[in-house]
Structure 1
Amino acid sequence: MSKNIIITGTSRGIGFELVHLLANQGHNVLALSRNAKPVSNLNFDNISSFAFDLCNEEDYQNVADFVKNEWKHVDILINNAGAILNEPFADTTFKDFEKIYQTNVFGVAELTRVVIPFMKSNGHVVTISSMGGIQGSMKFAGLSAYSSSKGAVITLTELLAEEYKETGPQFNVLALGAVQTEMLAEAFPGYKAPTTAIEMARYIQDFALTGNKYYNGKVLQVSNSTP
């Protein structure tokens, strides 16, 4: 049965692949990214997209209006968008931290808050985090803002699962290891990851559709390598 699925960060990498995997399965997908063009120029009747900036409060109303007018409900939300900064801590300013947290934490929280009223009890909110956000995992200099923000959404997910455990939806986090994407290249220039974007997208696709039968409020470490 086809589901209504919202995905953020869809202009490249894992998000771009996810949109097409799920659309090919027959699901209705709302693809959100600051640049809607890469997705909107493809001929799929079941993919909708418009420009959406997690840092722009007005854009959230557009999502609510779309769901109200087109779908009525949302089955799955995949918080995939993320911003990265690789900068020595001494050079990382208040504004730098604010910018990373705006996308990686505040944006995730706000979009989730906007979408939850449209979700049924068996809905699933999947947030994409990073191994860098896992306590005790290997850490890398220069990623203080990024990795700490990824730790924040793990705790946020645990809190939401507790708060909505009687009514649903379910909330889980996937903490990804190294995946060969443009974002990885920004953080670790020259590093070759063993996992491609399409391989990871397939894993997330399956987890988003079925993972909430088995997990709620959990963080799964999806990593076969360091970084």
Structure 2
Amino acid sequence: MSIVNLQQVSKSFSKGEEVITPLREVDLEIHAGEFVSLMGPSGTGKSTLLNLVSGIDRPDAGKVIVAGTDLTHLNRNRLADWRAANLGYIFQTHNLIPVLTAYENVELPTLLLKLTSKQRRERVNLALAAVGLSERAGHYPRQLSGGQEQRVGIARAIVAHPKVVVADEPTGSLDSETSEQIQHLLQRLNRELNITMLMVTHDREVAAIASRQLTLDRGKFLTAEDLAPC
């Protein structure tokens, strides 16, 4: 079953007098439970595509349908409600709030949902356990390593039981050993929790952990023939 469906999507931005078009009539279908990685040179539309799937940006043309909802014409309030219930986001730089503990950072997305305090507590504890940080729940970001901070960010992304998780360079700020640990964690969560994942990365080894790899260039997805050596 398709959970992400982009149909003939185009997106342009103005930069002074120049018009930049990072996506040109793009089609994309991702099935529930799939793990897709997205590569490509800088400025080729990877982050734009993530923002469209997340409802942060709107397409100039085409449709963006995620988890059964056409995001194209939702107003800001309805988009915020949809995002809280359906989407998790993993950032490259963690984006944790320094004055909140790991538990409180993970709890934040649940405050936007209609849950009892018991349900919130259960979800937060499960999410921290899933990333192996139950014993660090009361620690502040400054008391955690970079890898642990990213694990908190991942727990925050999955705590609301989203249908789709998007990850923007989730290992980009980590050393090679910690990056490998995070890669294994993402694979395990995708497999065990059946979470659909769309991940942007510049690293081919990181991209290879996904079940499907895509490459964007000049606003279009490259085909197998485009990628074949001459």
Specify if TM > 0.5: no
Bigger Rg, structure 1 or 2: 2
Highest RCO, 1 vs 2 (Cα 8 Å, sep ≥ 6): 2
With the length of structure 2 as denominator, give the TM-score of the two structures.
0.31
The alignment's TM-score, normalised by the length of structure 1, stands at: 0.31
Q: Report which of the two has the higher share of strand.
A: 2
- Structure with greater helix percent: 1
